[in-house]
Amino acid sequence: MGWFPCSGQSKQTPKNLRKKNKSLDPIEPSSGKYRDAPKDGSSNKIAAKTFTFREMAAATKNFRGESFIGEGGFGRVYKGQLECSNQVVAIKQLDRNGLQGNREFLVEVLMLSLLDHPNLVNLIGYCADGDQRLLVYEYMELGSLEDHLHNPMPSRAILDWNTRMTIAAGAAKGLEYLHDKASPPVIYRDLKCSNILLGEKYHPKLSDFGLAKLGPVGDNTHVSTRVMGTYGYCAPEYAMTGQLTLKSDVYSFGVVLLEIISGRKAVDNSKTGGEHNLVLWARPLFKDKRKFSQIADPALQGQYPTRGLYQALAIAAMCVQEQPNLRPMIADVVTALTYLSAQKYDPQMYPTQNPLWKPCTPPRSQGKAEKKRNGGGRSR
């Protein structure tokens, strides 16, 4: 959930500037029943409930350690239960000395109040009580995709191929909504495995919208902005120029898809020999289908469809093209992954793939072999 400049370097904000930035522009309180957002992406607002800090403390049992479930750039995340409704929720508390501040808090409240889609996390409300800043979300019981891929609990089963493709398709649909259905379009800017949360039946939802930006409109091709994001997921042209486009998100999605397929981290400093960066490691392997099986997550133990693996890697390879104009539109990615996720793999019906398997030269027909042994078919 944390983030930092894509260059991998982070400049600390002076303490005196942080103090000046404490005040938060007032957010108009809203109450009453929630109402659904229009599906066409128009800007009718969803009513987000306002909470007092006392209510937040009560929900988390005074932010006890037993309620703590995670930490990121925004601050700490707690599991809580609202006294007013008994609803189980996730509560993010802004770290006043952290990387994200009031600006990101406001962006997240406003974005999630305007956007509504089954693959975006639901904002239930917020707390702007004194100098306390908290966000209240629906609780996603299965945690993040990162937890399942890179920090699996012994009690949890490894994600199988079908589940991985379902998660990838759902995440792509959330991104498609931001790019194509929201008006104006929204550039997510921080797509990564830790920001994809999983609910019942591994239903994925995008979360953490503090870095989201409104996309270009009219004749504009990009938005110029300070380079922010997470190292390993940033598109190269954005990291170099600060020019942000919808295709920047597509690159980040390609990295996530590679993580889903391979089980590797986007950046893993424990690896050496050019393997620490996932995209740089995978690119040479994209050029030879015979090496595709080397990219597949060993945890799958060969239980995946060969054709499905090829197609998924082809999508990922297109998404992480260095030139943004060569990357596909997210709508095309959704179409391809929706098809892939519908092709259910049954390990009982198909043989387990051997990652060391290499295609051999097909045998010649018996007739040709006989002719060769007989001197090309000539009679003696």
Per-residue model confidence as pLDDT tens digits over 177-191: 999 999 889 999 889
**45 assigned binding-site residue:** no
Inter-CA distances, 273 with 232, 269, 281, 317, 320, Å: 17, 11, 9, 21, 21
**Among candidates 281, 362, 319, which has minimal Cα distance to 171?**
319
Q: What is the pLDDT of residue 294?
A: 94
Q: Mind listing the pLDDT tens digit for each residue in 243-297?
A: 899 999 999 999 999 999 999 999 998 888 788 999 999 999 999 989 999 999 9
Q: What is the pLDDT of residue 59?
A: 95
Q: Tell me if residue 36 is catalytic.
A: no
**Among candidates 153, 118, 257, 145, which has minimal Cα distance to 202?**
145
- Confirm if 227 and 166 have CB atoms less than 8 A apart: no
What is the rounded CA–CA span in Å between residue 156 and residue 146? 13
- Confirm if 282 and 295 have CB atoms less than 8 A apart: yes
Calculate mean pLDDT across residues 362-374: 47
Of 40, 131, 147, 190, catalytic: 190
Of the listed ranges 2-16, 179-193, 290-304, the least confidently predicted one is 2-16
Q: Mind listing the pLDDT tens digit for each residue in 52-79?
A: 999 999 999 999 989 999 887 678 899 9
Q: Would you say residue 46 has pLDDT above 90?
A: no
What number of other Cβ atoms are within 10 A of residue 348's Cβ? Answer: 4
Q: Which pLDDT band, with edges at 50, 70 and 90, does 109 fall under?
A: confident
Of the listed ranges 33-42, 123-132, 225-234, the least confidently predicted one is 33-42
Q: What is the pLDDT of residue 10?
A: 39
Inter-CA distances, 119 with 115, 151, 173, 309, Å: 11, 23, 7, 24
Query: 180 φ, ψ to 5°?
Result: -110, -25
Q: What is the pLDDT of residue 1?
A: 44
- Confirm if 59 and 80 have CB atoms less than 8 A apart: yes
Calculate mean pLDDT across residues 95-114: 75
Q: What is the pLDDT of residue 194?
A: 93
